[in-house]
Chains A and B, each alone.
Chain A
Amino acid sequence: MTTPPPPQHVPQHVPSQQAPPQQAPGQQPFPPQAPPQVPGQRQQEWQGQAPAGGSSLPMVRTHLGHALVSEWTKIRTVRSTVWTLALTVLLTVGIGLIFAAALSTDDYVGMPLLAGGFFGLMFGQLCVISLGVLVITSEYGTGMIRTTLTASPRRSRVLVAKALVFFALSFTVTLASTGLTALIHSSMLSDQTVPAYEYDNPDMEGSIENGEIVATTGHWVDATLGASLYVALLGLLALAVGTLLRHSAGAISTMLGVVLVPLIAALFMAGESLRDLRDALIEYSPLNGLASMFRIPMVGEPGSGWTMLGLLAGVTAAATIAALARLTTTDV
């Protein structure tokens, strides 16, 4: 290096004059309460009190915990969360209740004891999906994402915190809804006598005890814990899709397509040649996975709900990795 050692911190812009900048003719004066000083002087002052120039707040090494608390505050302080989750409970429990009331006069309803919970949750899950999308796309839509990522430049931490908080919240709310629905169904429908011809029906396997309809521990776990995990995972997938698309309407439409289109497409596949495709579409449609948790699959084994859950978890994990890659590598 040939550069001579510069005098310590001489600002290159200091003009030669030592007096305060002359007021240029025609220019307004500087505000009187803050008379301009020679930049060099001010800098020396600053160097003299360098520690005071820093933050008065204690230095904190931020970690995932901070991000989790922050995301929890975010999710609980917007109305869309309250609305979507209230609707989830209302639709799941409400439709479940109507269903149970309508069937309770019949002797035998033709399906496992807790299966009626599916119909309400089928609608309730759409609200969870919407919330999953909105958790991230509302930030892109409003510009909040820039504030968020300025406060937390570790972007993967932000997405992980969002995912954990959203998953925990939507799982808890869905579990409460499905639990309540299952209790309603078991108390209102449990005195059905199953006709003998149903004894060999594979869908009713384990549901019949001494000629009466019952729900085993497995049935209870599937219809509450399993179904709630399934819906919360769908919500997580929605969050990942929202992160990828950065657009509320686009991401919600995409998720509705994922949930509904396979089944609708299959409905119109008449003809023998399309049979295999039709069955595969139905079997692997997200709705069929959820129905399997309630032991009323359209196609496939009644106990296949957990296999479908594993499949959904795999898809969600892949989408989340893609979302992390998109969030951490692109400009906002």
Chain B
Amino acid sequence: MIELSGLTKRYGLKTAVRELTCVIRPGLVTGFLGPNGAGKSTTMRMILGLDRPTAGRALVEGRPYARLIDPLTVVGALLEARSVHPGRTAYHHLLCLAQSNGIPRRRVGEVLDLVGLGAVGTRRPKGFSLGMGQRLGIASALLGDPRILIFDEPVNGLDPEGIHWVRNLIRRLASEGRTVFVSSHLMSEMALTADHLIVIGQGQLLADTSMAGFIEENARSYTRVRSPDREGLLDALTHAGLDAVPSRDPGAEGAWELEGDRTAAVGELAADRRLVLHELGHHRASLEEAFMRLTSQSVEYQAHVGAEEG
């Protein structure tokens, strides 16, 4: 279990993380989602005691990370990019980490085999592909067989086979009862792996919800209908027992929305009542759109040219 309470990090005038409060529970994959620069890595570094919070605190298993006496058997972390010395072989990299926590030497070979680097343990990471580097990072996270796993963008740079492998690994770790905290800026990736979602934008908590709840709420399917005779249309719909609500989508002012796919019913109704329709269609919001809508106000580095959707 990881508990964040009022976690805040300021760099000078810029606030990277603002009063983040949430709990990351065991037995679940918790997705940590946000656009680039939202403060995901900063939050993870504060959990790991690498960065000192300006205010608030982060606790792992009820203690600050720095107080753990055998940190690697409690928390395993895959850090951003490569945090290895490129000139030290994969085996020795893991060995020095194991030794610092009194982990038996045999475990090094085990995790190398586990991540599929058994054959290249004697090579230097200098010559590793991005995917091999990620696997080495995952091996060091698994070294202490920890109860908590923190993965910062684990599928970055992996090929489809590698992505599939990481997904299964993450799900298996959670099903074993471990706490798994995975950051990503890809909603589609999280939809496949996460049970729970924590969304941040510009360092602020935007959502803390179960994946199922998020899907239910955001990936809804609806029918949109628009007529120049707005009131007449609503009248007809209500008489026919169809519930309609005004559309809140920008660019769809004056339109009505109905749950689910009701295009046939609405079309027939309009023909019966001789109502003019300017629009009738079935829409489905993707999770990616829902995520973009959620974070649109907080994207730090927005592309202003061509950002308008076509």
Residue B116 lies at the interface, judged by CB distance under 8 Å to chain A? no
Q: How far is the CB of A68 from chain B (nearest CB, A)?
A: 9
Complex-state Cα separation, A15 to B25, whole angstroms: 16
Question: Whose C-beta in chain B lies nearest to the C-beta of A143?
Answer: B83
In the complex, what distance in Å separates the CA atom of A205 from the CA atom of B77? 63
Q: A13-B196, A46-B177, A61-B69 are in contact. Are A21 and B212 (CB under 8 A)?
A: yes
Interface residue? B72 (CB, 8 A) = yes
With A13-B208, A331-B52 known as contacts, the answer to whether A57 contacts B83 (CB < 8 A) is no
Q: Which residues of B contact A274 (CB under 8 A)?
A: none
Residue contact A147 to B147, C-beta cutoff 8 Å:
no
Cα A136 to Cα B302 with chains together (Å): 38
Contact of A45 among B48, B74, B84, B177 (CB under 8 A): B177
A25 and B84: CB pair below 8 A? no
Out of B66, B82, B97, name the residue touching A70 (CB < 8 Å): B97
Interface 0/1 of B70-83, CB less than 8 Å to A:
11111101010111
**B144→A15 contact, CB < 8 A:** no
Kindly state whether residue B267 has any CB partner on chain A within 8 Å: no
Q: Is the CB of A77 within 8 A of B92?
A: yes
A39 surroundings in chain B (CB, below 8 A): 25, 27-28, 195-196, 210
Residue of B nearest to A23 (CB): B215
In the bound complex, how far is the Cα of B171 from the Cα of A249, in angstroms?
A: 44
Q: Mark A307-332, 1 if CB is under 8 A from B, else 0.
A: 00000000000000000000001011
| Complex: chain B residue closest to A56, CB-CB | B145
A15 and B48 within 8 A (CB): no
CB contact under 8 A between A78 and B147, given known A70-B97, A151-B101: no
Interface: B102 (CB within 8 A): yes
Chain A residues closer than 8 Å to B254, beta-carbon distance:
none
Beyond A31-B171, A139-B85, 10 additional pairs, beta carbon < 8 A: A17-B212, A26-B286, A46-B27, A46-B177, A60-B102, A69-B100, A78-B85, A144-B84, A150-B79, A153-B49
Q: Any chain B CB within 8 A of the CB of A24?
A: yes
**Cα A61 to Cα B69 with chains together (Å):** 6
Interface residues in chain B, defined as those with a beta carbon under 8 Å from any beta carbon in chain A: 25-28, 45, 48-52, 65-75, 77, 79, 81-89, 92, 95-97, 99-104, 107, 140, 144-147, 164, 167-168, 171-172, 174-178, 188, 191-192, 195-196, 208-213, 215-216, 219, 221, 284, 286-287
Chain B nearest CB from A42 CB (Å) reads 5
Max count, chain A CB within 10 A of own CB: residue among B45, B74, B83, B219: B83
For the complex of A and B, 4 pairs with smallest distance between CB atoms? A21-B212, A60-B102, A53-B177, A46-B177
Can you list 12 A-B contacts (CB < 8 A)? A13-B209, A24-B287, A26-B286, A28-B191, A39-B196, A52-B176, A57-B104, A62-B102, A78-B85, A143-B83, A146-B83, A153-B48
Nearest CB to that of A51 among chain B residues? B177
A332 to B195: give the CA distance in the assembly, Å: 31
Q: Is the CB of B192 within 8 A of A30?
A: yes
Q: Is the CB of A152 within 8 A of B100?
A: yes
Q: Report which residue of A13, A49, A71, A329 has the largest number of chain B beta carbons within 10 angstroms of its beta carbon.
A: A13
Residue A304 CB within 8 A of the other chain: no
Q: A50 to chain B: which residues have CB within 8 Å? A: 177
The residue in chain A whose Cβ has the minimal distance to the Cβ of B9 is A331
Residue of B nearest to A76 (CB): B92
Q: A11 contacts the other chain (Cβ, under 8 Å)?
A: yes
Contacts of A80 in B (CB 8 A): 87
Total interface residues on A, using CB and 8 Å? 63
Q: Which of A31, A49, A138 contacts B177 (CB 8 A)?
A: A49
Name the distance in Å between B84's Cβ and chain A's nearest Cβ: 6
Q: Does A105 contact B (CB under 8 A)?
A: no
Q: With A21-B215, A31-B167 as known contacts, state yes or no: A55 contacts B100, CB within 8 Å.
A: no
Among A139, A150, A332, which residue has its beta carbon within 8 angstroms of that of B77?
A150
* Distance in angstroms between the alpha carbons of A30 and B188 in the assembled complex: 11
Check A217 for interface membership: any CB of B closer than 8 A. Answer: no
A34, CB-defined interface residue at 8 Å: yes
Residues in B with CB closer than 8 Å to A150 are 48-50, 71-72, 75, 77, 79
| A331 to B174 alpha-carbon distance, docked (Å) | 30
Find chain B residues with CB under 8 A from A25 CB. Answer: 219, 221, 284
Indicate if A142 sits at the interface (CB-CB under 8 A): yes
Q: Which residues on the B side are within 8 Å of A53 (C-beta)?
A: 26-27, 147, 176-178
Bound-complex Cα distance A152 to B65 (A): 10
Contact of B210 among A15, A26, A33, A57 (CB under 8 A): A15
CA distance A61 to B100 in the complex (A): 11
- Taking CB atoms, residues of chain B closer than 8 Å to A60 are 70, 73, 101-103
What separation, in Å, do the CA atoms of A17 and B212 have in the docked complex? 9
Q: Which of A159-204 contact B (CB under 8 A)?
A: none
Query: In the bound complex, do residue A144 and residue B85 qualify as a contact, i.e. CB atoms below 8 Å apart?
Result: yes
Given A24-B219, A62-B69: A13 in contact with B86 (beta carbons within 8 A): no
Q: Give which listed residue, A17, A43, A73, contacts B26 with CB less than 8 A.
A: A43
Residues from chain A with a CB closer than 8 A to the CB of B45 are 146, 331
- Cβ A42 vs Cβ B79 within 8 A: no
* A275 contacts partner chain B, Cβ-Cβ < 8 Å: no
Task: For residue B108, give the distance in angstroms from its CB to the closest CB of chain A.
Answer: 11
Flag if A77 contacts B68 (CB, 8 Å): no
Least distance between A236 CB and chain B CB atoms (Å): 21
* Cβ–Cβ contact A66 & B101, under 8 A: yes
A21 to chain B, nearest CB (A): 3
Which of B70, B107, B164 has the most CB atoms of chain A within a 10 A radius of its CB? Answer: B70
Asked whether, in the complex, the Cβ of A73 is within 8 Å of the Cβ of B95, the reply is: yes
Give the contacting residue for A69; candidates B86, B99, B107, B172; CB below 8 A. Answer: B99
A20–B77 CA distance with the chains assembled, in angstroms: 30
